[in-house]
Amino acid sequence: MNSYLWLTRAFRKSPFEVCAVMRALARARFELRGAKRGARIRCYGALDVPHPRGVAIGQRVAFLGGPIPTSLRCHPGAELIVGDRTICNYGAALIARRSVRIGTDCMIASQVYISDDDGRNAAPIVIGNGVWVAHGAVIEPGTIIGDGAVISSLAVVSGVVPAHSLAAGNPAQAIPLSARAAQHPAVAPPPSTELTIDVVRSAIIEWLDDSRCFGDAASRITSDSMSLHAAGLLDSLGLVQLILMLERRFGVAIDRDRAARPESQSVRGFVDCFVARKAT
């Protein structure tokens, strides 16, 4: 009962949704048995963890569900460490023959491939805090990614990616996110304009229409609390692009840690992320 009440308060979910979270907590304990685990890890889909010794998963990490299991492969004598509050989407492969370290508050998208041994080279991988790795990206042996970096979809990354930079391409090239913002300076709303839910909704619909919905976004967003990810309107890369657009457009930073949570990826959730950042 205490767990049920905690989940109800923490996630503001319906009883049905709370049951799903409780199943995810139980599944994480089962799938990660034998691994070092922090508190409140959630697993919504299948995990492949053939050798749990050497695997360490931090607190509040979430493994999302999908058609392909996520693979955590840690060979004997190696270490595979995932930091607190990191979110890992389905079909990702994290493979350690020596050492793979992923920091806190990271987002690992679907079908990302991270391996410290490609058969030719073997060297540890270090991924900093707050890093976003978009769909299908490949992280090669010896890669070091700095805090707050963004790895674009299908990028193939090796070497050093500086903190707070955007890496894209094959082989990936990095540019500072600050330089990218300078090319597209933020346009703040007039002082009399409040960041209301209507203003943010209009901006999100406009961006979705321009980038992926082709005029159909307004009809597909049926509720301000509807998850854009669950509705198929937003993938991991889209989330990065949407947040960068909102920050440029309104000149206000989003609480990215909060925006990375699945329950925040709605129109109302993005408004709350603006408010949370302004309050800090």
Rounded Cα gap, residues 249 and 25, in angstroms = 38
Quick one: average pLDDT of 114-124?
93
Assess whether pLDDT exceeds 90 at residue 2.
no
Rounded Cα gap, residues 112 and 220, in angstroms = 28
Contact between residue 62 and residue 36 where contact means Cβ atoms under 8 Å apart: no
Both tokens assigned to 16: 């049905």
**Mean pLDDT for all residues in the chain:** 81
More confident residue, 244 or 193: 244
pLDDT in tens, 225-274: 888 877 888 776 677 778 877 877 777 777 766 777 777 788 888 888 77
Confidence at 10, pLDDT banded by 50, 70, 90: very low
Rounded Cα gap, residues 75 and 85, in angstroms = 24
Contact between residue 136 and residue 153 where contact means Cβ atoms under 8 Å apart: yes
Please report the DSSP string for 48-99 in residue order: E-S--TTEEE-TT-EE---SS-EEEEE-TT-EEEE-TT-EE-TT-EEEESSE
pLDDT in tens, 153-190: 889 999 999 998 889 888 888 888 754 444 444 444 44
Give the pTM: 0.64
Residue matched to tokens 């839910």: 197
Assess whether pLDDT exceeds 80 at residue 211.
no
Q: Which of 178, 32, 161 is nearest to 94 (CA)?
A: 32
Assess whether pLDDT exceeds 60 at residue 277.
no
What structural domains does the chain harbor? 2-175 (2.160.10.10), 184-279 (1.10.1200.10)
Contact between residue 157 and residue 141 where contact means Cβ atoms under 8 Å apart: no
